[in-house]
Amino acid sequence: MAGAFAGARSAGRLDARVLVLAVAGVQLAAFTVATVLDRPTWYVVFAVASAGVLGWRTNRGAFGVAAALLGGALVVALAYPLAALVTFTSPAAILSNATDPAVLRTLYLSVYAPLLATLLAFVLGVPLALLLRRGFRGQAVVAALVDLPLVVPHSVAGLAVLLAFGSGHAFPTVPVLGAMPGLVLALAFVSAPYMVNGAREGFEAVDENVERAARSLGANRVETFRRVTLPLALRGLVSGAVLSWARAVSEYGAVAVVAYNVSFFYPPAGERVQGMFGSVFVVRQLDVNFESAVSVAVLLLCVCVVVFLAVRTLTGTRGAWST
């Protein structure tokens, strides 16, 4: 009986995979045909209509069809611009930019600086998330302050960081304007809310009875946190860190104000070099070489996708970091 159930479940997964591959293949073929014929509207209509057909196939009536049409329209609105970006440029142009030393420095800086900002947000944000989960007087005010950078315009965030930490202010000896520390501070300012909120959701998902059981068995607070709370909340922490990193990678306004062009140590060259952050580099290239700007944007997009897929795999239900 168990074997038959397992076999049926395995067959169901196989059918689902075949269906996903079939839908992806049909969508890719339709997108290719529409692109060759220079009729992008045809593909958009086809993609939304095919979502409605899939909704109809679920046998959930008019509600299922309407939900599929509306949801499909949103998926198309999210995916189509990225597909248009990737297919605008040629593989040769992408490869040419991928070997350009200036582009390589930009890609390195676009990964490295957000990583430092995420590390800073992690070290300072995880303890705060733990406090917010346990609650304290004035918690609502602190939570609102944490979320505030999410609604502050990006250029305003850059000016705020510059005025708070620039020359003659909070950290007089730390270079901020046009320097790596300033870039990291600006990125951490806009991305820290994602780290704190992700870690907080992870901690709130931990059953407090399990922690009490550990304490009743003789574990102190540190041991309980290290051996119970932290492993159970790990997925939330990792998700928060990834979202924080991704938000930092996409930042433009604050970076353009604080650190338009910075000097940093570049390992392949073995020395300090000048370079631009990815989003700033792409915007500057738009005025110089539009196709080159698109190619660099595609390379940056590829880096983000690879990181996202790697982390999603590790934090999935069967990933190495799943609990």
- CATH classification of the domain holding 264: 1.10.3720.10
Residue 186 near residue 255 (C-beta atoms within 8 A): yes
Between 8 and 118, whose confidence is greater?
118
Are 60 and 156 members of one domain?
no
- The CA radius of gyration of the chain, in Å to the nearest whole number, is 24
pLDDT digits (tens, 9 = 90+) for 137-190: 888 999 999 999 988 888 888 888 888 887 777 777 888 888 899 999 999 999
Are 63 and 204 members of one domain?
no
pLDDT digits (tens, 9 = 90+) for 222-242: 899 888 999 999 988 988 998
Give ∠ CA 303-309-314 in degrees, rounded to 5. Answer: 130
Range of the domain at 128: 94-315
Whether 5 is in a domain gets the answer no
Residue 121 near residue 191 (C-beta atoms within 8 A): yes
CA dist 75 and 70 (Å) reads: 9
Q: Is the pLDDT of residue 254 over 70?
A: yes
Q: Is the pLDDT of residue 12 over 70?
A: no
pLDDT digits (tens, 9 = 90+) for 39-81: 888 889 999 998 888 888 877 778 888 998 999 899 999 988 8
Where a domain ends, among 88, 107, 137? 88
Are 62 and 178 members of one domain?
no
Are 202 and 273 members of one domain?
yes
Q: Is the pLDDT of residue 323 over 60?
A: no
What backbone torsions phi and psi does residue 90 show, to the nearest 5 degrees?
Answer: -100, 155
Half-sphere exposure of 16 (CA within 13 A, CB side): 7
Whether 206 is in a domain gets the answer yes
Whether 8 is in a domain gets the answer no
Q: Residue 322 — pLDDT band, cuts 50, 70, 90?
A: low
Whether 3 is in a domain gets the answer no
Whether 172 is in a domain gets the answer yes
Whether 211 is in a domain gets the answer yes
Are 258 and 133 members of one domain?
yes
Are 165 and 129 members of one domain?
yes
CA dist 115 and 252 (Å) reads: 16
- Take residue 10 and report the two structure tokens written for it: 């395995």
User: Distance of CA 82 to CAs 71, 87, 221, 293, 309, Å?
Assistant: 17, 9, 47, 14, 16
Where a domain ends, among 38, 53, 88? 88
Are 106 and 22 members of one domain?
no
User: Distance of CA 312 to CAs 17, 226, 300, 322, Å?
Assistant: 18, 23, 18, 10
- Spatial neighbors of 191 by CB under 8 A, at least 6 apart, are 114, 117, 118, 121, 244, 245, 247, 248, 251
Mean predicted lDDT score pLDDT of the chain: 85
Are 233 and 307 members of one domain?
yes
Where a domain ends, among 52, 68, 88? 88
Are 70 and 197 members of one domain?
no
CA dist 123 and 298 (Å) reads: 31
Are 45 and 187 members of one domain?
no
Whether 11 is in a domain gets the answer no
Domain total in the chain: 2
pLDDT digits (tens, 9 = 90+) for 16-40: 777 788 888 888 888 888 888 888 8
Whether 195 is in a domain gets the answer yes
